[in-house]
Amino acid sequence: MFRFIEKSFLKITQILGLLFATIILVMAVIMSYNKVDVKTDDKIDTPVVKFADYQKFIRNQEAKIGKNLDNNQRFDKTFNAYIDDIVSALSGLSDKVIDKTDLKQKVKISSKVKLNQQPQSVSVAYVKSLAKLTNQVAIVDAKVNMDELIKWHDQSFFQQIKEKDKRNFLQIGPLRIEKSAYSMMWEALAIFMLLVIMLAVLRIEQNTRK
């Protein structure tokens, strides 16, 4: 039984070995041909550095800076508009519900501190969500503890952001699994080659004893 398995395995390894040898030979011929092409062309083209290229580089840099400034200005305008909306809603509440001293400054600073490490898209989404919530409170004229309400809003909002990031991570997961599969394939090939070497050594040892 072992003899049959050994013969079958050796036959398979011979076929695979011939296939790998053919592939390696073809690659070696192609690489050698490319090296010959490189060696036959000893002439080096003189690098061309044009002032026009520098001007183009500067224009691109200025355009990029201008675009960033426009994006920042657009963000500030949108962010401040939602801050004003929040302040307007809170100003309509009873003085017993909220302290209105320097209200706009408090709301703006508090929001900036919470969103310090967040991208602009999340910052806008946060103040938009808070503006919607405060307007709902103002419409029904609810008697609530605003500190607790805002704390609850923040916990709920950032929890949803984390869940969204987690879903995005899970979507990227299959790509990582694919890379892992390639890695496992190469490891399996290495193990296979090791088994071939071990079997070859065993065969040589058996022939030597005979």
pLDDT digits (tens, 9 = 90+) for 142-162: 778 888 999 999 999 999 988
Task: Output 185 or 162, whichever has higher pLDDT.
Answer: 162
**Could you report how far apart the first and last alpha carbons of the chain are, in Å?**
20
How far is it, in rounded angstroms, from Cα 18 to Cα 196? 13
State pLDDT tens for residues 51-68: 788 788 888 888 888 888
Which are the contacts of 126, defined by CB distance < 8 A and separation ≥ 6? 111, 114, 115, 118, 157
Predicted confidence (pLDDT) at residue 38 exceeds the cutoff of 60: no
Predicted confidence (pLDDT) at residue 79 exceeds the cutoff of 90: yes
- Is the pTM above the cut of 0.85? no
- How high is the pLDDT of residue 209? 57
Inter-axis angle of helices 51-91 and 120-140, nearest 10: 20
- Give the residue-averaged pLDDT of 2-26: 67
